[in-house]
Amino acid sequence: MSLRERLNDDLKDAMRAKDTLRLSVIRGIKAAILREETRGERTTLDDQGIVQVIAKEVKERQEAIGDFERGGRSDLVAQAQAEIQVLTQYLPQPLSRAELDELIREAIAAVGAQGPRDLGRVMGWLTPKTRGRADGKEVAEAVKARLSEL
């Protein structure tokens, strides 16, 4: 079953169960997917593209949590955290630190990186393999640290 079909089935289930939180989040995901598909060229996103959209939605909510906390809005923090829990059900399992380190080693070997100046090539090889499974900023920091050791 594709991710799009799973979202549609879960949307129907949420309607039947009158689960307003889940219903709202899934509708938001579907709207974000539609925006992405109609921007520029009209294309249909595959599962990987949908995962990217969902990961972006999670990141936006995580950033909003910091703002809500600074503003003293614990109600909005709880809402955003609940939405993140629903969204993460559609993302692949996150990479463990050991898995990420192994992928970084593979990437460095694959591109023949020799130092920090090869960061772009390593990230180019690594990004498609970590997308949706690890935060790009954290991956870049780990790669920089590893390359600086070379």
Say if residue 14 is in the same domain as residue 64.
yes
Say if residue 83 is in the same domain as residue 139.
no
C-alpha closest to that of 123 among 136, 133, 109, 135 = 136
Say if residue 16 is in the same domain as residue 74.
yes
Q: What is the pLDDT of residues 79-98, one digit of tens each?
A: 999 999 999 999 888 888 99
Say if residue 82 is in the same domain as residue 33.
yes
Give residue 124's domain range.
97-148
Model pTM?
0.75
Percent of the chain clearing pLDDT 90 (strictly above):
63
Say if residue 80 is in the same domain as residue 41.
yes
Say if residue 81 is in the same domain as residue 130.
no
Q: What is the pLDDT of residues 107-147, one digit of tens each?
A: 999 999 888 898 999 999 998 888 778 888 889 999 999 98
